[in-house]
A and B are shown apart, each in its own frame.
Chain A
Amino acid sequence: MTDRREAWLFLVPGLALLVLGFVLPILRMLVLSVLGPDGLTLQQFARFFQDGYYPSILWRTVRMSLVITAITAAIGFPLAYITSRVGPRLRLWLIVMVILPLMTSVVVRTFGWMVLLGRSGPLATTLRDMGLVGRSFSLMHTEAAIVLGMVQVLLPFMVLSMLGVLSRLDPRLEEAARTMGCSFLQTIRRVVLPLAMPGVVAGSLLVFTLSASSFITPSLLGGARIEVLAGSIYKSVTQTLDWNFAAAQSVILFLGLALVLIPYLRLGARHG
C-alpha cells in the first residue's frame, strides 16, 4: 500500500505538469480548431486544403524534417560510435564538444549561419571570386540553408540518444563478429547497427519532431518566402490573430507527425 502511495507521490509533480502544460492546452487547441462563429465546423480544415498553398507548406515541413533527420543520423552515428569506443579522456572531450553548442542559444547559432551563408559571407564571396556564381548568389533564404542550420542545432540530440545505447553494447559482440570473419563495415551493419536501433529510433524521433515544430531557425534562414508550418501557425496567432485557423494548422501538424511517428514507434518497440 505504502509503496503504491509513494509511487503516486513521485508521479504527481510530473503528471500535474503534463496535465497543466500539455493535456489541457492540447484539448483547448482541439476545441478551437473546430469552433466557428455558429458552433462546430470543419471550415478551418477545409480552408487548409482549399488550394495547394497550405498543403505545400505541410509537405515542405515533413520533407525537410525527414531530410534533416536522415542527415543528422548519418553524421551522428559514426560520431556516437567512435565516442563510445575511444578511451575515457578522449570520450569526455568528444562529449563536451557535442554538448557545447547547446550552451549557446539557437538564435545565436543561427545568426552565425546567416553571416556564413549571406551574400557577403565567406562562401558566397569565394565562389564569386572564382567566377562561379553571379552577384546576387546567396545560400540564405533557401531550403539548403534551413537544413544546414537545423542539422547543426539538432545533432547533439541525435548523438546523445545514440551514445546512451552504443556505450552499453558489449564490445565482445563485435570482437566475436570480427573473429567469425566479418569485415569492420559488416560488423557495423550486422551487429552494431541492429543493436543500436533503439538509440537510432529515439534520436530520430527527437530530431524529427523538433525540426517539424521549430520555426526560429527556418524563419531566420529561410526568409519570408520559404514558409514552414510552425512559422505559418505563428503568423496566424500573432499577425492575423486567427486562432481557430492556427489551432487547425496545429492539429494537422500534430496528426502529420503522429502519422510518421507511429511506424517509427513500432520499429522502436520491435527492436527495444
Chain B
Amino acid sequence: MQITTRSLFGSVAISLFAMPALADEITINSFGGAYEEAHRACVIDPFEAATGAKVNIVTAYSADAFAQLRAQKDAPQFDVIHFSGGQEIVGASEGLLLPITPEMVPNLADVYDFAKEGVAKGEGPAYQIAAVGLVYAADKMPEAPTKWADLLNPEYSDRLVLTDISNGYGMIGLLMLNQISGGTMDDIQPGLDAVSKLLEQGAIVVSKSPEIQQEFAQNDAWLAAYASDYAYTLQKAGLDVKFVQGEEGTPASFITASLVAGRDNVELASKFIDMELSPEAQACFSEALRYTPTNSKTVLADDVAASVVYGPDATAGLMRFDPIKIEANRSAWVEAWGKTIAR
C-alpha cells in the first residue's frame, strides 16, 4: 500500500469528520420497522455471514436519506443507499452515485429490463417493487372497492385514510387520485380539489404508515390508497384487510439499491447489491413482506405468488409516475398539498 501525502491528509481529514471507516464494513440505509427486519433476515445477516463484514444500518426513509446523501457530497457516509421514491435518478444526474456493471453485480443479468433501465447512468437497479392499490377492511366495507374512483364515494369519506405526500405511497396515491379526477403530471389541481372535498367530508390525513394501522385497528377506518406490502402488514397484525388493484391502473414504487460514489469499498458494496438482486433474497423478501421480485429467476411459493404482482406478464402491466417530474415538482406540490390540507 502506497501512502501519499494526499491520501494521508485525506484519511486524517476523514477521521476528523467521520467515524473511522474500516475496509470490512459498509454503511447502508434501511426503512425501519418490519422492512428493516426483513432486510436484515433476507440480506444483511446472510451477507455478514458470507463475507465476515459488518453492515451498519442507518434508518432513513428515501427523502431523508437523499437529503443526507446530498449534504455529505464531499464526504459520503453511505456505501449502498436505498430509495423508494425515484431519488436515484436525481442522485445519478448529480453524480452522487456510481454506475454498477454486470461484472460487479452478476445477478444484474437476470433482472427484468424495466427494473434496470438507468443502471448505466448510475441509477441503482430496483430489487423490489411495491404496487399501490386499494387497501380495505374486508369485514367492514359494505361492498369491496374495485376502482380508484371508489375513493371519492362520499359514503366512505369519514372512513377514508389519506397519506401525506411526504410518504412515497402517499405521493403515488395523490397522483392517481389526480389522474382519475382529470389532472395530469403538469396540473395536480384536480387531485388537490378532490382531496380538499374528501377532507371536508371527514377523511383524515396521516403521515406515516404505522398510523394507517392505528386508524384501521382502533379508529374504524375502512379504506386507504396504499401498497400491497402494507396490506400484508395489516393482515399479520390480525386485521381482516385486503389489497386490490384499482381498475384504472396499478402505479408502483420501485425500491432501488445504488452504489454511492466516492467510497473506497466498492467491491464489498457491490456484493451487497448482488445479494439483494439474488433470487433467494428476493423470494425471502416476497415471503416476508409481499413485494414484487425483479429477478426473473425468483421462484415464489404459491400462496405468496397469489398475493403479489408476479411474473414477466403481470409486472409489465405496472405503471410508474415519472420520478423526474415528481422530483422537479416536489417542492411546489408539497407546498400546494400543505396549503390544501392545512386547518
Contacts and interface: CB of A to CB of B under 8 A. Distances in A.
B343 A240 contact: no
A240 B335 contact: yes
Interface string A100-140: 00000000000000000011100000000000000110100
Contact of B218 (A118, A225, A241): A118
B202 interface: yes
A241 B66 contact: yes
- Interface majority SS (helix, strand, loop, mixed), chain A: loop
B338 A223 contact: no
B205 A120 contact: no
A232 B334 CA distance: 10
A225 B339 contact: no
B30 to A, nearest CB: 17
A200 to B, nearest CB: 33
A51 to B, nearest CB: 8
A170 to B, nearest CB: 50
A238 B64 contact: yes
Contacts of A232: 338
Contacts of A51: 339
B330 interface: yes
A239 interface: yes
Given A240-B331, A240-B335, A226 B343 contact: yes
A53 B338 contact: yes
A240 B330 contact: yes
B214 interface: yes
Contacts of A120: 218-219
Interface in A171-199: none
Contacts of B70: 241
Given A120-B219, A224-B207, A225-B205, A238 B67 contact: yes
A119 B219 CA distance: 6
Contacts of B166: 224, 235, 239
Contacts of B207: 219, 223-224
Contact of A241 (B67, B158, B206): B67
Interface in A234-251: 235, 237-242
Interface residues of A, number: 25
Interface in B62-97: 63-64, 66-67, 70
Contacts of A219: 207
Nearest to A53: B339
Interface string B212-223: 001000111000
B336 to A, nearest CB: 10
Interface residues of B, number: 26
B342 A225 contact: yes
Interface in A51-109: 51, 53, 56-57
A140 to B, nearest CB: 9
Contacts of B205: 223-225
A235 B67 contact: no
Contacts of A227: 338, 342
B164 interface: yes
Nearest to B331: A240
A237 B334 CA distance: 12
Nearest to A119: B219
A122 to B, nearest CB: 12
A134 B214 CA distance: 19
A136 B66 contact: no
B218 A119 contact: yes
Interface in B152-170: 158, 164, 166
26 contacts: A53-B335, A57-B342, A118-B218, A118-B219, A119-B218, A119-B219, A136-B158, A136-B202, A136-B219, A223-B205, A223-B206, A224-B205, A224-B207, A225-B205, A225-B341, A227-B338, A227-B342, A235-B166, A235-B334, A238-B63, A239-B166, A239-B330, A241-B63, A241-B66, A241-B330, A242-B331
Interface of A: 51, 53, 56-57, 118-120, 135-136, 138, 141, 219, 223-227, 232, 235, 237-242
Interface of B: 63-64, 66-67, 70, 158, 164, 166, 202, 204-207, 214, 218-220, 330-331, 334-335, 338-339, 341-343
5 tightest A-B contacts by CB? A240-B331, A120-B218, A224-B164, A119-B219, A224-B207
Given A223-B205, A240-B330, 7 more contacts: A141-B204, A223-B206, A235-B334, A239-B166, A239-B330, A239-B334, A240-B335
